[in-house]
Amino acid sequence: MEKVLEDIAGLKGVQGSLLIGKDGLLILSLGDFQNDVELISACVSEVYASADSMTNERFDNGHPFEMMISANNQNIFIFDVNEDTILAVVSDDTVNRGFVTMHGRASAMELKSMLS
């Protein structure tokens, strides 16, 4: 798992990557973050839970499998790994968003097979 997070954290413009339990607890993180990783974990989990409630329960569209939050000069990419786990990638605003999304999708799939 560490190798998967390491590969994402090494992308240009990426500050780091985190594997987070959907309960908000940090499982693993790699990178150089501007903010406390425990706080990031809790916030990402809360955002995911809110989006999941809206898409799955209110609109009956199923669980979200990816999302991105952009604010000022930072982005957070969130990928659903499995029923218990989320992958988050934190980047600055110079990052190639499509490239991170592509790698995040592949990494979430790889992590899913590792955690099965």
Q: What is the pLDDT of residue 63?
A: 84
CB within 8 A of 72, min separation 6: which ones?
A: 93
Residue 85 structural domain: 2-115
Report residue 19 CA to chain centroid gap: 7
Q: What is the pLDDT of residue 56?
A: 80
Total number of domains in the chain: 1
Q: Residue 29 has which token pair?
A: 């993180």
What are the strands, taking DSSP E only, across the chain? 14-21, 26-31, 66-71, 74-80, 85-92
Q: What is the pLDDT of residue 33?
A: 83
Q: How far apart are CA 20 and CA 84, in angstroms?
A: 9
Residue 60 neighbours by CB distance under 10 Å = 7
Question: Over its length of 116 residues, how does the chain's per-residue pLDDT go in tens digits?
Answer: 999 999 999 999 999 999 999 999 999 999 988 789 999 999 999 999 999 998 887 788 888 899 999 998 999 999 999 999 999 999 999 999 999 999 999 999 999 999 98
Asked if 30 contacts 16 with a C-beta cutoff of 8 angstroms, the reply is yes
Which CATH number covers residue 93? Answer: 3.30.450.30
